[in-house]
C-alpha cells in the first residue's frame, strides 16, 4: 500500500508538492484546482508558529526551518483529512485568501488541460473512478527534509520542483511579504543568502547526488521513497503544469483502486 496511511475506504489521496521557497508550488496548486474538479489544498505555511515563537538565527527570525512549524498541528490536519475526506473545519488558510488572477500560464493551456481532464473523467474512461473522490494537495517548502519525516507516511505521491539558487533568490526577493499569524513579514536585506538558501541546502542535500542541490536527484532517497520531478532544474511553469496533469491522470485511478 506504498507505505502510506490510508483508511479502509480510501476516501482520499494526499499528494505532497515541495521545492525551494518561491519556486511556484502554490501557483501550481491554484492552477490544478482550476483544472480538476475535486482538488483541495492544505498549505504548510498555515502551520507556522506565532511570530514570537519563530527561532532566531544570526539575529534574524528563521522562518525557513522545521522549528518554525507546528508539526503536531500539521499531523492532526493530515489525520483529519485521511479519516474524513475534508479539510479541518477550524482551519482558515491565509494562502487561499490570495487572488488567483494573473497566473503565469496561458488561459489556452488551462482550458485545454481542463477539457482533457473532463474527457478523462467521463464514463468508460480511466478517470471515471475518481469522479466523486477528493484529492488533497499538501503544498510546502519543507516536506521532504528528514526533520519532517513524520508526515511522509501520509503522502501517496511526492512531487519535487527543483529550483536554482539564482531563480529562488530572484523570486523570493520579488515578493512583497507574507501574512503571518500576528503581522506581515517582509524579508530583511540578504535574507535569502543568510537564511533561506542555507536552510534549503541543509534540509535537501541528502536527496541529491554528492549533496549538490542544483545537481541530480536520487531516484529514491532512503526512507522517502520515489520522488517525481518534471525532469530538471528551473523547468518552465507551463511545462511543469502539463507534466503534473499527465502524472495525475496516470497515477490517480490506481491510487483510488488500491
Whether 85 is covered by a domain: the verdict is yes
Find the domain containing 185 and state its range.
12-257
Active-site residue set: 45
Whether 253 is covered by a domain: the verdict is yes
Grid cell of 201 as nine digits:
541546502
Whether 142 is covered by a domain: the verdict is yes
Pairwise CA distance, residues 22 & 171, whole Å: 6
Whether 7 is covered by a domain: the verdict is no
β pairing state of 12-19 and 157-161 = parallel
Whether 236 is covered by a domain: the verdict is yes
pLDDT of residue 7: 46
What total of structural domains would you count in the chain?
Answer: 1
Pairwise CA distance, residues 39 & 191, whole Å: 33
Pairwise CA distance, residues 70 & 251, whole Å: 30
Helix (H) / strand (E) element for 81: namely helix 71-84
192: exposed, middle or buried (C-beta count within 10 Å: 0-12, 13-18, 19+)?
buried
Whether 165 is covered by a domain: the verdict is yes
Grid cell of 49 as nine digits:
508558529
Q: By the 8 A CB rule, do 20 and 168 touch?
A: yes
Q: Which residues pair with 41 in a beta bridge?
A: 137
Q: What is the pLDDT along the chain (258 residues), one digit of tens a residue?
A: 444 554 445 568 999 999 999 899 999 999 999 999 999 999 999 999 999 999 999 999 999 999 999 999 999 999 999 999 999 998 877 665 444 456 789 999 999 999 999 999 999 999 999 988 999 999 999 999 999 999 999 999 999 999 999 999 999 998 877 777 777 788 999 999 999 999 999 999 999 999 999 999 998 899 998 999 998 999 999 999 999 999 999 999 999 875
Q: Which residues pair with 185 in a beta bridge?
A: 178
Whether 203 is covered by a domain: the verdict is yes
Q: Which residue has the cell 480510501?
A: 10
Smallest CA-to-CA distance from 20 within 166, 219, 161 is with 161
pLDDT of residue 93: 75
The structure's pTM equals 0.91
pLDDT of residue 98: 47
Give the three-class secondary structure for 61: strand
In CATH, what number is assigned to the domain containing residue 44?
3.40.50.300
pLDDT of residue 219: 84
pLDDT of residue 3: 47
Whether 99 is covered by a domain: the verdict is yes
Main-chain phi, psi angles of 233, to 5 degrees = -100, 140
Amino acid at each position: 500500500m506504498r507505505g502510506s496511511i490510508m483508511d479502509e475506504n480510501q476516501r482520499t489521496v494526499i499528494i505532497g508538492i515541495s521545492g525551494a521557497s518561491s519556486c511556484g508550488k502554490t501557483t501550481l496548486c491554484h492552477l490544478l484546482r482550476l483544472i480538476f474538479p475535486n482538488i483541495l489544498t492544505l498549505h504548510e505555511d498555515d502551520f507556522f508558529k506565532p511570530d514570537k515563537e519563530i527561532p532566531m538565527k544570526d539575529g534574524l527570525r528563521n522562518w525557513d526551518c522545521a522549528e518554525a512549524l507546528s508539526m503536531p498541528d500539521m499531523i492532526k490536519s493530515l489525520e483529519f483529512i485521511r479519516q474524513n475526506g475534508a479539510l479541518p473545519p477550524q482551519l482558515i488558510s491565509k494562502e487561499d485568501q490570495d487572488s488567483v488572477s494573473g497566473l503565469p500560464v496561458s488561459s489556452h493551456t488551462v482550458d485545454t488541460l481542463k477539457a482533457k481532464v473532463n474527457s478523462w473523467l467521463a464514463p468508460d474512461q480511466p478517470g471515471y473512478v475518481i469522479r466523486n473522490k477528493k484529492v488533497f494537495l499538501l503544498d510546502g517548502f519543507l516536506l521532504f527534509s528528514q526533520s519532517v519525516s513524520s508526515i511522509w507516511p501520509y503522502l501517496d505521491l511526492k512531487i519535487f520542483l527543483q529550483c536554482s539558487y539564482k531563480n529562488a533568490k530572484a523570486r523570493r526577493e520579488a515578493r512583497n511579504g507574507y501574512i503571518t499569524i500576528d503581522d506581515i513579514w517582509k524579508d530583511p536585506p540578504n535574507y535569502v543568502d543568510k537564511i533561506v538558501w542555507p536552510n534549503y541546502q541543509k534540509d535537501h542535500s541528502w536527496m541529491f547526488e554528492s549533496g549538490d542541490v542544483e545537481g541530480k536527484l536520487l531516484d529514491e532517497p532512503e526512507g522517502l521513497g520515489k520522488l517525481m520531478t518534471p525532469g530538471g532544474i528551473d523547468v518552465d511553469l507551463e511545462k511543469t503544469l502539463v507534466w503534473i496533469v499527465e502524472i495525475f491522470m496516470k497515477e490517480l485511478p490506481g491510487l483510488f483502486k488500491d
